[in-house]
Structure 1
Amino acid sequence: MPFSTTRFPLLDVWGGPRQRGLQIGAAFGDRIAQTLALYKAYFSRPDDVLLPVVARFRAVVDGFDPRYSAEIEGIAEGAEVDPLWIHALNARSELLAAVSASECTVVHYTGTPFVGQNWDWSEELEDLVVLVRSEDERGRRFLTMTEPGLLAKIGLNDAGFCVCLNFLPTPKPTNGLPSHVLLRALLDVGSWAEVEATLERAGTDRSLNLLVASADGRCINVEYEGDAARRMEAGRPATIHTNHYLTCDAPVEAELLENSTARLDRVRALTAHGFPADLARLQSVLSDREHPEHAILAPYRDSDGFLGRKGTVCTIAMNLARRQMHIRRGNDPENPFHQILVNEVETTFSM
Structure 2
Amino acid sequence: MTFPTFTSTQIDPRARGKELGTHRSKAIRANLSGYSDLFTVAGATATQVRAWGEAALERTAEWAPHLAEEIAGIAGGAGLEPWQVAVVNARTEILAAIDATGEGECSTSVVLPGAGEAPRTVQTWDWHDHLRDAPMLWELEPRPGHVVRTFTEAGALAKIGVNTGGLGIHFNILRHDSDTADLGVPVHLIARRILDEATTVAEAADIARSATVSASTVITAVTSSDAASIEISPAGVAVIPPEPDGVLQHCNHFLDPALAKDERHSTDRPSTYVRFQHLRANIEGLSSDDHTKRALAMLSHGPDDAPVCAHPDQTMPINQRWETVATIALDLVGARLRVHQGGPCQVTEATWQTF
The answer to whether residue 231 in structure 2 is matched with residue 223 in structure 1 is: yes
User: Could you list the per-position Cα deviations for residues 215-263 of structure 1 after superposition, in whole angstroms to 9, with x for gaps in the alignment?
Assistant: x231121222322222223133421111122221323364611x21111
Partner Cα separation in structure 2 for residue 253 and residue 46 of structure 1: 28
Percent identity among equivalent residues?
24
Which position in structure 2 is the counterpart of 1:36?
32
Query: How far apart in 2 are the matches of 1:303 and 1:169?
Result: 25
Question: Is 1:27 the equivalent of 2:18?
Answer: no
CA shift at 1:81, angstroms?
0.7
Q: Structure 1 280/136 Cα, relative in aligned 2: closer, same or farther at 3 Å?
A: same
Give 1:290 shift.
7.9
Gap change, CA 1:307 and 1:291, over 3 Å in 2: closer
Q: Distance in 2 between the 1:9 and 1:273 partners?
A: 29
* Distance change >3 Å, CA 232–CA 290, structure 1 → 2: same
Matched, 1:337 2:339: no
Q: Which residue of 1 is the match for residue 248 of structure 2? A: 239
Tell me which amino acid in the other structure corresponds to 1:95: I
CA contact (8 A) 1:161 1:189 kept: no
Which structure 2 residue ranges, 5 or more long, are not aligned?
A: none
Query: Could you say which residue in structure 2 is the equivalent of 1:7?
Result: 2
SS at match of 1:127: coil
* Alignment correspondent of 2:110: 108
Match of 1:327 in 2: 339
Q: How far apart in 2 are the matches of 1:264 and 1:92?
A: 25
| 2:170 alignment partner AA | C
Give CA-to-partner distance per residue, 1:180-202, whole Å, 9 cap, x none.
Answer: 00011011124225424422322
Deviates more, 1:75-84 or 1:182-191: 182-191
Supply the distance in 2 between the matched residues of 1:290 and 1:53 (Cα, whole angstroms).
Answer: 35
Q: Structure 1 regions of 5+ residues with no counterpart?
A: 1-5, 342-351
Q: CA RMSD in A?
A: 2.4
1:251-293: per-residue Cα shift (whole Å, max 9, x none)? 3364611x21111111110015996455343222234448645
The reply to whether residue 295 of structure 1 matches residue 301 of structure 2 is no
Alignment correspondent of 1:347:
none
Q: Residue in 1 aligned with 2:220?
A: 211
Report the Cα distance in structure 2 between the residues aligned to 1:273 and 1:30, rounded to whole angstroms.
40
Q: For residue 166 of structure 1, report the CA deviation from its aligned partner.
A: 1.1
Q: Secondary structure of 2:333's match?
A: helix
Structure 1 counterpart SS, 2:319: coil
Figure out how many residues of one structure are paired with residues of the other and give that number. Answer: 334
Separation of aligned partners in 2, 1:127 and 1:86: 17
Residue aligning to 2:67: 68
Q: CA deviation at 1:304?
A: 6.8
Aligned to 2:173: 167
| Other structure's SS at 1:246 match | coil
> Residue 82 and residue 273 in structure 1: after superposition, are their counterparts in 2 closer, same or farther (change >3 A)?
closer
Alpha-carbon distance in structure 1 between the residues aligned to 2:47 and 2:351: 43
